[in-house]
Structure 1
Amino acid sequence: MIQLNHQMKGRMSLMRSAEQFYPSLLNWAGECDWIRVVLQTSSRTNPHAFRDRFTDYDIELYVNNLEWFLQDNWLSHFGTLIAAAPLKPAIDQLHITRLVLFDDGTKMDFQIYQLDLLEKVSQLPPEYDNGYEVLLDKDKLTPLFKPPSFQAYHVKPPTKDQYAELVNSFWWDTSYVAKSLWRDELFFSKYMLDSIIRINYLQPMIEWHIGVQHSWGVNPNKHGRWFKRYVQPALWTRIEQTYAGSSVEDNWNALFNTMNLFSELAIEVGAYLSYPYDKEMEERLTAYCKNIYTLP
């Protein structure tokens, strides 16, 4: 049974609102001479993004004293810290990353840049084109920024070679899952099925399917976060059936479900893009895996 920390639960029920957060941020930034520009990016600035109570505040600070932020004392302004990453702040290519979580459940992702970098921005980087908002600009450095198009991370169709290589790699790697399941090598089989095959091959194929269904005009977010919002319920049920626990038999079922699902999506995407699909490769590897499944 999961043990609840009732004190933490009480704090999270009082998670600060946006109406509380922004004045606190801007009052602090306005009083700190090192900070010259404050930008907000990501979900809270993109009208097409999905937001809820756990949506991060993605804040970018452009400063003229980067070293001052190498100590985390400044974070106490925002509350009681319960975790931060990386473990210690460090300057990497003229910027510092502080991903922080507070005891009321509020998460803030700070990217802190040397001010000189802002002056070198000649066109919107993808993360700004996906959505940004200028919260504070003490020196009028941002008026020339173009408005975001919100299209930077839309699904893009694969080239013919990208599609063919991914299809080939998917079917090749199914053989590793089958052999490791027969050997009762659960850890390796899960690595191949749930990491390599799911993330490297099934995920982009689902993304391409979503691109086809939505005319390449949506962003399903990274690592399938918004897949459930963009696929039909029947397809989502099929995706759920590609997951399994620790039972070897369940993982065999998950493998075959993954193979069937990938085949259908790949054929659909290939037909839409007029790319050939290697059905013979699928049939050979499917027979190979099923033969291993029947071995004593």
Structure 2
Amino acid sequence: MKSYDEMYDLILKTATEDDRIRAATMEGSNVTKGAVHDEFSDFDITFFVSDIREFTRDHDYMKRFGDILIMQMPDDYYAEPYDYNGRSRFAYLTQYKDGNRIDLTFIDVSEIGKQAEFSEPRTVLVNKDDFKELVEITSKECFYIKKPSEFEFFGIVNEFRWISNYVTKGLCRHEFYYARRMMEEYMMNMFLKMINWKIGIDNDFQVTTGACCKYLKNYLTEEEMTHFEGMFPSGDYEDMWEKLFLMYDFFEELSVYVAEKLGFPLDLEESNNVREFMAMRRAHK
């Protein structure tokens, strides 16, 4: 496996020596302060090129960085094929057999003006034409948890309680995947919003829990993390019922905390009524 420095040098050498590549930047965890940086970290690279069509039509281009295990081109998907005659941005996501991974995005220099609005952390590796739009960005403020409005808070609380009835219906009918998806995708999305707001409040909304909340453990107590991990059910229907109520009660605890800290009203009578309705359906399943 190429070391981090070896792969970095190869990327930099490629960008420097190829005259078609007019600038190069690095984004992602490798340049984001506080992000996990280990042997599993990807290289998130952007090449700004004189004519993107020379790169989008060359699907073997990524072989120069190693032996490819699997590659994905998310901009050329069966549901929305890429226009190879156009100059829209294009990415190659490539996992190499040696363990390295490079997510390389190509942007035509005709689109360079849009980079003035870019806000994520990045390092400028090469800038042959001194594009003023390409600047070093060290702040990760764009990733911080955002404080909710009262309207958004109400919407999340309402949606969580509403979807809980879909789960109970699915469990009563023994519709395994329906119930599980409603619980682990739709309800969980609302739950994660609430627990992130709690974390945001506790940290003055100056932190991020990362993509898919992968850094949750950095901001929760050991007890809270154990509580969170304990909400995920096995494939047993009775266990799914138990975990549904665990999630429901934990969400209410969090919503009370967030509402009190942000001065939002919260209808606890509705919450109790929904919980009793769920319990009634469980008793008569």
Normalised TM-score (structure 2): 0.92
- Matching residue of 1:154: 144
Task: Tell me the matched-pair count.
Answer: 277
Are the aligned partners of 2:168 and 2:281 in contact in 1 as well (CA < 8 Å)?
Answer: yes
- Matching residue of 2:92: 98
- Matching residue of 2:104: 110
CA-to-aligned-CA distance 1:237-282 (integer Å, 9 cap, x gap): 1111110121101100110010011001111011000001110111
Secondary structure of 2:266's aligned partner? coil
- Matching residue of 1:4: none
- Matching residue of 1:81: 68
Question: What is the deviation of 1:173?
Answer: 0.9
Normalised TM-score (structure 1): 0.89
- Give the aligned residue type for 1:81: I
- Aligned partners of 1:155 and 1:191: how far apart in 2? 25
Are the aligned partners of 2:95 and 2:101 in contact in 1 as well (CA < 8 Å)?
Answer: yes
Taking the TM superposition and a 5 Å limit, the aligned residue runs for 1:54-69 are 54-69=40-55
- Aligned partners of 1:176 and 1:143: how far apart in 2? 49
- Give the aligned residue type for 2:119: P
- Give the aligned residue type for 2:39: R
- Matching residue of 1:219: 208
Distance 1:88 1:149, change over 3 A: closer
> Structure 1 residue runs of 4+, over 4 Å off?
none
Structure 1, unpaired ranges of 5+: 1-14
- Matching residue of 1:121: 115
Distance 1:179 1:190, change over 3 A: same
Structure 2, unpaired ranges of 5+: 77-81
- Aligned partners of 2:104 and 2:229: how far apart in 1? 34
- Matching residue of 2:59: 72
Taking the TM superposition and a 5 Å limit, the aligned residue runs for 1:1-296 are 15-70=1-56, 71-86=58-73, 90-91=82-83, 94-123=88-117, 125-127=118-120, 131-142=121-132, 145=135, 147-199=137-189, 201-296=190-285
Distance 1:233 1:21, change over 3 A: same
Question: What is the deviation of 1:177?
Answer: 0.4
- Aligned partners of 1:170 and 1:64: how far apart in 2? 49
Question: What is the deviation of 1:50?
Answer: 1.9
Considering only aligned residues, what root-mean-square deviation do their CA atoms show, in Å?
1.7
- Matching residue of 1:8: none
Q: Percent identity?
A: 25
